[in-house]
A = this chain, B = another copy of it.
Amino acid sequence: MGDSVSIGLLGLGVVGSGVIKLIEDHQEKLVHQLGAQVQVKSALVRNPEKARDLDKERTHLTTNPDDVLNDPEIDVIVEVMGGIEQAREYILRAFSAKKHVVTANKDLVALYGKELQEAASKNKCDFFYEASVAGGIPILRGITDGLSSDHIQQVMGIVNGTTNYILTKMNTEGMSYEDALQEAQELGFAEADPTSDVEGLDAARKMAILGRLAFSTDVELDDVEVTGIKGIELEDLQNGDKLGYTMKLIGFANFDDKKLEVNVQPTLLSKEHPLADVKNEYNAVYVYGEAVGETMFYGPGAGSLPTATAVMADVVAAIKNMRLGVTGSQVAESHFEKELKPADQRFGQFYVRLYTKDEAGVFSSISSLFHELGISFQRILQTPVEHNELAEIVFITYETSLANFNNALSKLQDLENVMEIKSYYKVEGDGDNDMARTSETL
């Protein structure tokens, strides 16, 4: 038990400090699991003078990356510095020096995951990144280990806490998008510049990583179609609510017949769906496997200690492999050729809200247009509108292909009595089955 394993940190922000805290707090458990003590020998920082909550006697703070990357005593490198090009370079250098790497950097893994994995395999090193998706939730392990013998068909995730917080506030307190965003910023759930979150880019990175692992195929960030929640209107959430749906920003990844579909978009989700109850800043990932059926993994998507927990799970796994003289990298190699699913093979139900002239025959012309395209309506909601001489019509279609729906939308735009298509969203799952309630609102 006199053994000790040294790790090096690249970066020492909130996650890095969390890693140091966990290692100090749980040394006894680590020794029990690994048969060795774990210590953070060095940490690369920008400014070593900056006061930090850690014992400088034990961890050497340095501004020179070589002190971490080239120290022969360091076996595992934890990259928590963020950013892309610099982090990529350091990680590649770490692999060349035969060090295992754990990262929490979703931007990096989404963009360069394949290259980094290949570099790891070439050098017989481990490359783990559990913390890059859904913070403290052990979802990547759930997929690669827990469902290792299943054929995963679909992954749906609420993988961005900021947008889930905003949508929850709109849903439960009737806030506008702008007010909910402002509250999220005041509480620290949204950054001053929320672009990456509200436009869905953060979620897209996580879905690229999830898709790659779930389907063993090379999902690239560019393969993910993204629509964010910026400027989403309360009225659409309320209409959804009346019809039995909750608006969520859903990352959706599907793989059947070896054809891939990955996207992130605001979605009206049946209230019966397990993801519909995931509230506030929480994250959850729903996985549908051919054999296992429906599973869901729920937890905090961010935060210093939750994220550090995921980093440490990877560090422990890497140290175990190292001490056993093996690596686990083979699990993450991609296996299937990628082929994206075209729009005429992507099916779904859709919600549409539009303004029409308030005159006889409008609804009939809309419904014959859809009828000609073979699209039926499952629900229709007609609500009063304050604008003069306008009517508002809301409907949810039965399942149709995305290509067909897009075609319908463009023809709808051309109808002489349709003034404006206000919004349209994808719909997942069955809403309120009490049709009486729907008819009542007709």
Contact = CB atoms under 8 A, between A and B. Distances in A.
A210 to B, nearest CB: 15
A335 interface: yes
Nearest to A274: B298
A313 B26 contact: no
A320 B315 CA distance: 19
Contacts of A18: 291
Given A274-B298, A277-B274, A331-B33, A147 B151 contact: no
Interface in A296-311: 296-300, 303, 305-306, 308-310
A26 B308 contact: no
Interface of A: 18, 22-23, 25-26, 29-30, 32-33, 35, 130, 136-138, 141-142, 145-151, 216, 274, 277, 282, 284, 289-300, 303, 305-306, 308-310, 312-313, 315-317, 324-326, 330-331, 333, 335
B298 A296 contact: yes
Interface centre among A18, A146, A312 (most CB of B within 10 A): A146
A146 B138 contact: yes
Contact of A293 (B290, B300, B325): B300
A299 B287 CA distance: 9
Nearest to A294: B299
A173 to B, nearest CB: 13
Contacts of A149: 22-23, 26, 29-30, 309, 312-313, 315-316
Contacts of A317: 145, 148
Oligomer copy total: 2
Given A151-B29, A317-B145, A300 B294 contact: yes
B274 A292 contact: no
Contact of A306 (B35, B293, B305, B309): B293
Give the 6 A-B residue pairs with the shortest CB-CB distance, closest first. A138-B146, A149-B312, A295-B299, A296-B298, A136-B292, A291-B305
Contacts of A303: 293
A49 B18 CA distance: 60
Contacts of A145: 138, 141, 145, 313, 316-317
Contact of A295 (B32, B136, B292): B136
24 contacts: A22-B150, A25-B290, A26-B149, A26-B150, A29-B148, A29-B151, A30-B149, A32-B333, A130-B146, A136-B292, A136-B295, A138-B145, A141-B141, A145-B313, A146-B310, A148-B313, A148-B316, A148-B317, A291-B305, A293-B299, A293-B305, A294-B299, A295-B298, A295-B300
A291 B147 contact: no
A216 to B, nearest CB: 7
Contacts of A25: 151, 290-291
Contacts of A32: 216, 333, 335
A295 B331 contact: no
Nearest to A283: B295
